[in-house]
Structure 1
Amino acid sequence: MTSTNDIGDRGEDIAETHLEENGYRVLERNYRFERNEMDLVCLDPDKGGEIVFVEVKTRTGLGYGAPEESITEEKKASLVKVAQAYLHERQLRGSPARFDVVTVLLGDGQPEIEHYENAFWAL
């Protein structure tokens, strides 16, 4: 039986490949600060080297709603905290940065991938 961790890891693999195929450079995967995690930290060379903090949401169906609907205000706040820690730790405060969401819907056949740039504002 496939666990939710397995599904999440597969979604992150798919999202990482998708982003790399679209010119992004993955800097970090599963960056942790305290009890929170950022799925992917990337560099978008097309946007002047903007740092992109990516939350990946993966589902095997829509029974619990669309993947992006699961990103609550509380989750956004934790992502902001992790992003601020990353920028501080890497001495990148003030660098252009944004939050993207990549959703992956797994089913029969090819996964459905949606990439939402600037999914929310915080920095």
Structure 2
Amino acid sequence: MPSKDQLFGKEGESLAVLYLKKHGYKIIEQNYRTKLGEIDIIAKEKNTLVFVEVKSRNTGHFGSPKYAITPKKMRKISMVALYFLKETKQSGVKARFDVVSISPGEKEPEIEIIKNAFDLAYG
């Protein structure tokens, strides 16, 4: 049985997918998992492959969720993205890393897409 945090995370990812679609992204894959780690959403926006990390918080006590991505997490996402590109033979494709930040709002959650949130991170 999923934990409360896992259910909250899944809900955040569902909101992110709807929001990305509304903003012209085509969803290719969700929860892409490898032995190296996971990418929440892989999408395409125009001619760019986009690796999306979803960060959501149900309280504002710890600041915006967009600031919760550590250098370690960036490296892990980068490794998984490179693995995906190699496995799907798309090494030459234009790609970037976006973050979808979901925070509590007055009536509705506040959702923000941060394009090019970080660069490919090594080592």
For the criterion TM > 0.5, the same-fold answer is yes
SS at match of 1:27: strand
- Report the equivalent of 1:122: 120
Alignment partners' CA distance in 1, 2:105 and 2:57 = 9
- Report the equivalent of 1:29: 30
- Deviation readout 1:51-89 (Å, 9 max, x if unpaired): 000000010012222101110000000000010011011
SS at match of 2:97: strand
Alignment partners' CA distance in 2, 1:27 and 1:107 = 29
Q: Which runs of 5+ in 2 are unaligned?
A: none
Q: What TM-score do the two structures reach when normalised by structure 1?
A: 0.91
SS at match of 2:62: coil
Alignment partners' CA distance in 2, 1:121 and 1:28 = 21
| Structure 1 runs, 4 residues or longer, greater than 4 Å off | none
RMSD: 1.5
SS at match of 1:56: strand
Q: What TM-score do the two structures reach when normalised by structure 2?
A: 0.91
Matches within 5 A, 1:7-86: 7-45=8-46, 49-86=47-84
Q: Which runs of 5+ in 1 are unaligned?
A: none
What number of residue pairs does the alignment pair up? 119
1:97 paired to 2:95: yes
